[in-house]
Amino acid sequence: MSSYAQKRGFLATLWDYLTTVDHKKIAVLYLVAGGFFFVLGGIEAILIRVQLAVPNNDFLSADMFNQVMTMHGTTMIFFAAMPLLFALMNAVLPLQIGARDVAFPFVNALGFWMFFFGGIFLNLSWFLGGAPDAGWTSYASLSLASEGKRIDFYTLGIQISGFGTLMAGINFLVTIINMRTTGMTFMRMPMFTWTTFVASALILFAFPPLTISIFFLIFDRLFGSQFFNVEMGGNTIIWEHLFWIFGHPEVYILVLPAFGIFSEVISIFSRKRLFGYASMVFATVLIGFLGFMVWAHHMFTTGLGPIANAIFAVATMAIAVPTGIKIFNWLLTMWGGSIKLTTPMLYALGFIPSFVIGGVTGIMNAASMADYQYHDTYFVVGHFHYTILGGVVFAILAGLHLYWPKMFGTMLNETLGKITFWLFFIGFHLTFFVQHFLGLMGMPRRTYTFLEGQGLETGNMVSSIGAAFMAVGAIVLVINIIITSVKNQKVGNDPWEDGRTLEWSVSSPPPHYNFKQLPLVRGIDAYWIEKMEGRKEMTPAEPLGDIHMPNSSFIPFMISFGLFVAAFGAMYRPDYSWGLPVLVGGLVITFGSMLIRSLKDDHGHYIKKEELMDDSDKGVQA
């Protein structure tokens, strides 16, 4: 990437990325933007741990703590974890199924810019009167009572980025259903593709409830409706239900692709076919289905009644079964394999016990009568950090190391990678293991300080030290990325030497049309089959011919920018007269851009057969 950038000058490269519809460049955009928000969320986490390191600390005021805590959760879930997973999906998924791009490249770009402007909008709150302060769940009675514009930044920012996520999900679904190459049947798809497929289906079903609940909150706060206002006949519990009908599938949207990445990693570095492939697929789909039947376990103490609590408790515990299937399949993949302890494999090995701890505490939380004790304590904080950090963030880091050569054509340094892993792994357990016990001792979640002499000092201090370890680990990762980018040693198609699936059969990074000729797939782990039979390349499934590619477009940026402007208008409309014109103006930009897109014919371009014959596979201009 970088050598290419130097040749073209900074502005040309910037324009290239602002208008790109290429899934590989959109992956880089997601990675950069998601990485930026990940750093922001990480800084907020450090601020939280500094404040809570010692009792009666006044590093942050109570009000500031609420903002930092809310923004940490919101940023990490919506603007760090999801886009980083989308980065890996965009980079790898079309390659894994043997496609030249996603089904709707334009929509793919639109999805990214929506997410990006939503995230920028949310974070501008820091400079415009304070950040959201009602927790990432933003429960309605609390968020309606919050003064100023804080919650409006939350609702409008999440709404815009939520549209983008929904588009990305639909795009991946259509891509996987329609764009698989010859021979790539559903039951031959790599696990990462399968988990992305199920996660995208969850996005399709889970994001509309979020959109609706956030529209309710926007209307309640900005346009005088009373959906959640109990005094006016509204019902505040509706928010909780709608939010968790979204929110619980959301955690599976995050963790299923993480499972997929680990399935790839464990299979590659055990140099064995994934054990129990069919049962893995079954377990993934089952988790997806059950994920929609359990949301009320977040609301056991709301007063749903014993019958509802029991039903949701049992349904929640049922999820342990498919998850257990997956854990055992990973263990049995490693059993008897010839294991290579690379950085991604270390993350996978660290993930299994960490995630099992997170799962077991999940079952503890699922026991509804015991949950009255755990509810809103640090036990819950410990639990979900074990699943999201020990599952999703580990997977993102493993995936980054694994696919870095495929995205940028150069390998991250293994030694520094392993140092990052150990710092992160030790820091993670130091930070969060002790939080379970803090919770059992009665430390409430989201509290901004605690008193001396209640037995909470040691635990909180250990937790803060662990956070410092993770911060150092993240810094080592950044240094690693810088060193690797400066050195920029190019690698070949299959830098890990044990690649099994189609993405390792093309150059690193792939040419922008991905496959000169779409490959023929003859079984699970298609590239591995060819390698075992002594071939170096995939058998083509089509003759060499002209390739149809989409044109770049600036319109996705403009559509998203219009909504960004409109959000400011909507937010300031009750207070300033310029609000309404800005709201209308923003919507005019959005719908005007959509109109231009509809009226202007854009048939894309062809890469001629002759050009393809001139190029050798390596060093093709992207």
Specify the residue, 178 or 454, whose C-beta has the smaller distance to another protein: 178
**8 A C-beta contact, residue 112 and residue 523:** no
Return the H-helix or E-strand segment holding 607.
strand 605-607
Binding mask 287-326 for another protein (x = CB under 8 A): --x--xx--x------xxx--x------------------
Specify the residue, 1 or 238, whose C-beta has the smaller distance to another protein: 238
Binding mask 87-126 for another protein (x = CB under 8 A): ----------------------------------------
CB of residue 301 to another protein, shortest distance in Å: 14
CB of residue 150 to another protein, shortest distance in Å: 27
Specify the residue, 223 or 289, whose C-beta has the smaller distance to another protein: 289
How many residues line the site for another protein (CB under 8 A)?
19
CB of residue 368 to another protein, shortest distance in Å: 13
CB of residue 6 to another protein, shortest distance in Å: 45
Residue 209 binds to another protein (criterion: CB under 8 A): yes
Phi (first) and psi of residue 316, to 5 degrees: -65, -45
- Binding residue for another protein, selected from 17, 104, 139, 205, defined by CB under 8 A: 205
**8 A C-beta contact, residue 53 and residue 459:** no
Binding mask 164-183 for another protein (x = CB under 8 A): -------------x------
Sign for the CA dihedral angle at 245, 248, 251, 253 comes to: negative
CB of residue 443 to another protein, shortest distance in Å: 30
Considering only 203-211, 261-269, 447-455, 501-509, which stretch makes contact with another protein by CB under 8 A?
203-211
Sign for the CA dihedral angle at 38, 39, 42, 44 comes to: negative
Specify the residue, 59 or 139, whose C-beta has the smaller distance to another protein: 139
Phi (first) and psi of residue 346, to 5 degrees: -60, -45
245 C-beta neighbours (distance < 10 Å), count? 20
Distance of CA 133 to the CA centre of its chain: 23
Judged by CB under 8 A, the chain residues 412 through 431 that form the site for another protein are: none
**8 A C-beta contact, residue 70 and residue 131:** yes
Specify the residue, 282 or 289, whose C-beta has the smaller distance to another protein: 289
CB of residue 245 to another protein, shortest distance in Å: 6
Residue 238 binds to another protein (criterion: CB under 8 A): yes
Considering only 201-209, 251-259, 360-368, 595-603, which stretch makes contact with another protein by CB under 8 A?
201-209
Say which DSSP state 508 is in.
Answer: S
554 to 90, 490, 561, 606: CA distances (angstroms):
19, 31, 11, 20
B/e letters for 11-50, b = 16+ CB within 10 Å, e = fewer, are eebeebeebbbbbbbbbbbbbebbbbbbebbbebbbbbbe
Specify the residue, 19 or 225, whose C-beta has the smaller distance to another protein: 225
- Binding residue for another protein, selected from 57, 225, 235, 539, defined by CB under 8 A: 235
Specify the residue, 244 or 421, whose C-beta has the smaller distance to another protein: 244
Considering only 78-86, 236-244, 250-258, 409-417, which stretch makes contact with another protein by CB under 8 A?
236-244
Specify the residue, 289 or 591, whose C-beta has the smaller distance to another protein: 289
Specify the residue, 102 or 396, whose C-beta has the smaller distance to another protein: 102
Strand partners, 14: none
Instruction: Tell which residue, 155, 150, 143, 250, has the closest CA to residue 206.
Output: 250
Pairs from 439-442 (Cβ < 8 Å, separation ≥ 24): 439/374, 439/377, 439/378, 439/379, 439/380, 439/381, 439/382, 440/373, 440/374, 440/377, 440/379, 442/377
CB of residue 141 to another protein, shortest distance in Å: 13
Considering only 64-72, 235-243, 276-284, 527-535, which stretch makes contact with another protein by CB under 8 A?
235-243
**8 A C-beta contact, residue 348 and residue 258:** no
Specify the residue, 310 or 584, whose C-beta has the smaller distance to another protein: 310
SS3 (DSSP) at 255: helix
What is 292-303 written as a DSSP string?
Answer: TS-GGGG-GGG-
Judged by CB under 8 A, the chain residues 241 through 260 that form the site for another protein are: 241, 245
CB of residue 375 to another protein, shortest distance in Å: 17
SS3 (DSSP) at 469: helix
Strand partners, 519: 540
CB of residue 278 to another protein, shortest distance in Å: 17
CB of residue 341 to another protein, shortest distance in Å: 40
For the purposes of burial, counting CB atoms within 10 Å of the CB of 365, is it exposed (0-12), middle (13-18) or buried (19 or more)?
A: buried
Return the H-helix or E-strand segment holding 177.
helix 150-178
Specify the residue, 238 or 440, whose C-beta has the smaller distance to another protein: 238
Residue 543 binds to another protein (criterion: CB under 8 A): no
Gap between the Cα atoms of 477 and 419, Å rounded: 9
Specify the residue, 182 or 539, whose C-beta has the smaller distance to another protein: 182
- Binding residue for another protein, selected from 14, 187, 230, 310, defined by CB under 8 A: 230
Instruction: Tell which residue, 94, 73, 77, has the closest CA to residue 22.
Output: 94
Residue 201 binds to another protein (criterion: CB under 8 A): yes
Specify the residue, 186 or 591, whose C-beta has the smaller distance to another protein: 186
Specify the residue, 162 or 358, whose C-beta has the smaller distance to another protein: 162
SS3 (DSSP) at 444: strand
Gap between the Cα atoms of 124 and 549, Å rounded: 37
CB of residue 293 to another protein, shortest distance in Å: 6
**8 A C-beta contact, residue 450 and residue 456:** yes
Residue 344 binds to another protein (criterion: CB under 8 A): no
Q: Which residues bind another protein (CB under 8 A)?
A: 177, 201, 204-205, 209, 230, 235, 237-238, 241, 245, 289, 292-293, 296, 303-305, 308
